[in-house]
Amino acid sequence: MYRKIEDFLSDWEYETEMTAKVFGNLKEEHLNHSFHSDNRTLGRLAWHITHTLGEMMHRAGLPVNEMDPEPESLTLETVIAFYNRDAVAVKEAVKATWTDEELEEKVPMYGDNWSKGYILTILIRHQTHHRGQMTVLMRQAGLKVPGIYGPSKEEWIEMGMPALP
């Protein structure tokens, strides 16, 4: 749980940069491909990550735009534009609205009461969780998977080193 706004902002900067990196390796033709009938597509996962920025922060009382969870049409350009816009909006809203002291305050969230610091933790974990799902689907689709917390298989190869098994 975050106890300092600056700690969240530091993590948020890195995590949003990595999500943008994953989104940047997507291809339009793979957004709606279904790998399994019961699972989300790459496009749906990317939109879910994007949509949740506004949905969760709005629910927590921050002035971040809330968007349609099920858009009629979805393009890679749209996902990237809205993700970039709302990632900045989250950062700016947290900085302008909450203080370190307020991170202990609880607010109603999804039928429970979460501290504001915990909400920020879950926002990052939620994004990381779905980003991981996306990288598995990207590998199955034959897309290049970027390294997030270290080099990916493709990046090891690009460095002239053997990828770890």
Q: At what angle do helices 76-97 and 42-59 cross, to 10 degrees?
A: 20
CA 55 – CA 144 distance, rounded (Å): 30
- Global pTM? 0.91
Beta partners for 113?
A: 108
As given in the structure block, the two tokens for residue 133 are 């799902």
Residues in the chain: 165
**Domains of the chain, CATH where assigned:** 5-158 (1.20.120.450)
Per-residue pLDDT of the chain (165 residues; tens, 9 = 90+): 999 999 999 999 999 999 999 999 999 988 887 777 778 889 999 999 999 999 999 999 998 887 766 777 789 999 999 999 999 999 999 999 999 999 999 999 999 999 999 999 999 999 999 999 999 999 999 999 999 999 998 899 899 998 877
Distance between CA atoms of residues 15 and 83, nearest Å: 12
